[in-house]
């Protein structure tokens, strides 16, 4: 190539011999114009496809970035790679079975999905006031523990994506302590289906309160470690500060809620403004920041974890003995479930009663278990403040034993729309930080 050029621009090409052959260095003349023209045609501009299978996006998120050198000029998300059809599946199961499906939506905040769904069903049934206090207190306790575990994963995976794997190890270590509590109480580490319409599946097992107390002690001891590791760390700050900027106007327009909204200084929290499960009676604060950036969101998550510890402590003080399911036998599962010797969750006393003495109880049990209860026609919208923002549930009933339509307004889905606003004009490396600070969970985004 160089040889042919050299023949008709002899005045500006100098040749030198190398081991690879003759190399011509071409300068001057119209070559400068050629180089300038090449720079103008933007051949630095390329389109990068990140994901859907990529280590540093949250789950199967696909990011389509148009980059000019190191600058992102356009960022678009491709989602739907985890679309599970949960909303459709719910329409073929009864109202109680619905909790097993919704808990698998945003798999990092299972208790919030269950609570939002159950509050919606309870609103349709008109039994919000009949849910026993003990059930509400346990719901709040589990939700706040869940907020801790969700924020721990947000911080842990966020750190991992920055290359700070120590934070990841610490986050997962503390999350395990919470999962131990969940496992003791619900029997499962994730996907619990523990909160049911009308109350809870069963009461706290013996030893649960002590374990939560132990956890609070340990977690209080571990919390400062995150400050030491990250909050004041100059490298961490340099990566997070002024990255993923989204101000209040942007948040409002894009419907963004949760820590991202609170990082703009607006203390909007549904637990304060539209209390549910008795949140108005708990003493806690809504942390805000004025920075509008990823660092502010990180600080808010840390502070919310401290507030959650406070709430859990208040829950423990309030636990009074009592029922955990509504009185109405048309809704409440008749048996107190207990793990029997056959490995199934049947109560032997109840089996004895329905098989031996009461025919009506047997019929009732059969109808309730196979068919479920009917819910009067209508629709309801309930929202809870999940760790990621406003988790809303639109429940529609046609008077049947199954949901007619359940729609989840998942905060991850809405918040993920802000990727373009946060990333465009920034660096490629900052895209990772911005997405991590949104903390989207694809199970919730795609449902």
Partner 1 sequence: MSEANGVNPGASGVNPDQELNAENLPGRRGDQGEPIRVQRGMFGANNGGDTSGYGGLVRPVRLPGPATRPYGGWFDEVADELEGALEEQSLLPENAIEKTVVDRGELTFHIAREHLPRVARTLRDDPALRFELCTGVSGVHFPGDKGRELHAVYHLRSITHNRLIRLEVSVPDSDPHIPSIVDVYPTNDWHERETYDFFGLIFDGHPALTRIMMPDDWQGFPQRKDYPLGGIPVEYKGAQIPAPDQRRSYS
Partner 2 sequence: MGIEDKLPSGFLLTTVEQAAGLARKSSVFPATFGLACCAIEMMTTGAGRYDLARFGMEVFRGSPRQADLMIVAGRVSQKMAPVLRQVYDQMPNPKWVISMGVCASSGGMFNNYAIVQGVDHIVPVDIYLPGCPPRPEMLIDAILKLHQKIREEKLGVNRERAAREAEEAALKALPTIEMKGLLR
Helix axes 208-226, 133-162, angle to 10 degrees: 30
**Angle formed at CA 281 by CA 278 and CA 393, multiple of 5 degrees:** 30
Within positions 305 to 344, which residues make up the interface with partner 1, using CB under 8 A?
328-331
Contact of residue 176 among partner 1, partner 2, none (CB under 5-8 Å per partner type):
partner 2
Of 174, 402, 434, 443, the one binding partner 1 (CB under 8 A) is: 402
Q: Name the segment binding partner 1 (CB under 8 A); options: 62-70, 78-86, 226-234, 422-430.
A: 78-86
For partner 1, the closer CB: 123 or 151: 123
Q: Which stretch binds partner 1 (CB under 8 A): 4-12, 47-55, 106-114, 252-260?
A: 252-260
What's the closest the beta carbon of residue 366 comes to partner 1, in angstroms?
12
Using CB under 8 A as the binding rule, the residues of this chain from 120 to 179 that contact partner 1 are 123-127, 129-130
- Residue labelled with tokens 């869940």: 146
Residue 5 binds partner 1, judged by CB under 8 A = no
Asked whether the CA dihedral 21, 22, 28, 33 is positive or negative, the reply is: negative
The option from partner 2, partner 1, none interacting with 187 (CB < 5 to 8 A, set by class) reads: none
Radius of gyration of the chain (CA): 28
Q: Using CB under 8 A as the criterion, what x/- string covers residues 362-401 for binding partner 1?
A: --------xx-xxxxxxxxx-x------x-x-x-x-xxxx
Nearer to partner 1, 294 or 375 (CB): 375
Total number of residues binding partner 1 (CB under 8 A)? 61
How deeply is 25 buried, as exposed, middle or buried, from its count of CB atoms within 10 A (0-12, 13-18, 19+)? exposed
| The entry of partner 1, partner 2, none that residue 104 binds, CB within 5 to 8 Å by partner kind | partner 2
Contact residues toward partner 2 (CB under 8 A) are 52-56, 59-60, 80-86, 88-89, 100-101, 104, 107-108, 153, 157, 168-169, 172-173, 175-176, 189-191, 442-443, 446
Query: Which of 101/276 has CB closer to partner 2?
Result: 101
Residue 53 binds to partner 1 (criterion: CB under 8 A): no
| Residue 169 touches which member of partner 1, partner 2, none, C-beta under 5-8 Å by kind | partner 2
Residues lying near partner 1 in the complex (CB under 8 A) are found at: 79-80, 83, 85, 87-89, 91-93, 123-127, 129-130, 252-257, 266, 268, 273-274, 328-331, 370-371, 373-381, 383, 390, 392, 394, 396, 398-402, 404-405, 407, 409, 413-414, 416-417, 446
């Amino acid at each position: 190539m160089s040889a042919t050029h050299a023949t008709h621009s002899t005045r500006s090409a100098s040749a030198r011999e190398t081991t690879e052959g003759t190399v011509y260095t071409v300068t001057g003349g119209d070559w400068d114009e050629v180089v300038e023209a090449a720079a103008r045609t933007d051949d630095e501009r390329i389109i990068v496809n990140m994901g859907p299978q990529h280590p540093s996006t949250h789950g199967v998120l696909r990011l389509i970035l148009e980059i000019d050198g190191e600058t992102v000029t356009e960022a678009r998300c491709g989602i739907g790679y985890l679309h599970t059809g949960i909303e459709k599946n719910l329409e073929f199961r009864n109202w109680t079975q619905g909790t097993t499906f919704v808990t698998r939506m945003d798999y990092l905040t299972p208790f919030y999905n269950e609570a939002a769904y159950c509050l919606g069903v309870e609103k349709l049934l008109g039994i919000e006031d009949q849910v026993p206090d003990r059930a509400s207190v346990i719901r709040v306790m589990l939700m706040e523990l869940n907020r801790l575990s969700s924020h721990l994963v947000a911080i842990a995976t966020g750190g991992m994506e920055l290359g700070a794997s120590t934070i990841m190890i610490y986050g997962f270590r503390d999350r395990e302590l919470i999962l131990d509590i969940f496992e003791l109480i619900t029997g499962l580490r994730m996907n619990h289906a523990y909160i049911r319409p009308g109350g809870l599946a069963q009461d706290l097992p013996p030893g649960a309160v002590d374990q939560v107390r132990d956890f609070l002690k340990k977690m209080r001891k571990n919390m400062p470690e995150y400050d030491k590791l990250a909050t004041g760390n100059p490298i961490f700050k340099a990566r997070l500060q002024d990255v993923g900027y989204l101000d209040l106007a942007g948040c409002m327009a894009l419907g963004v809620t949760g820590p991202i909204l609170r990082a703009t200084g607006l203390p909007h929290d549904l637990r304060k403004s539209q209390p549910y499960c008795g949140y108005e009676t708990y003493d806690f604060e809504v942390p805000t920041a004025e920075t509008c950036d990823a660092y502010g969101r990180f600080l808010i998550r840390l502070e919310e974890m401290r507030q959650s510890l406070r709430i859990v402590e208040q829950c423990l003080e309030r636990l009074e003995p009592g029922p955990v399911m509504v009185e109405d036998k048309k809704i409440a599962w008749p048996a107190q479930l207990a793990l029997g010797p056959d490995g199934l969750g049947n109560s032997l006393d109840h089996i004895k009663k329905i098989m031996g003495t009461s025919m009506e109880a047997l019929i009732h049990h059969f109808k309730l278990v196979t068919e479920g209860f009917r819910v009067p026609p209508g629709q309801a919208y309930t929202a809870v403040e999940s760790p990621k923002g406003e988790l809303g549930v639109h429940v529609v009933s046609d008077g049947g034993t199954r949901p007619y339509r359940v729609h989840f307004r998942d905060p991850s889905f809405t918040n993920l729309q802000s990727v373009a606003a946060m990333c465009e004009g920034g660096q490629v490396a900052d895209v990772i930080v911005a997405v991590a600070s949104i903390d989207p969970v694809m199970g919730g985004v795609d449902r």
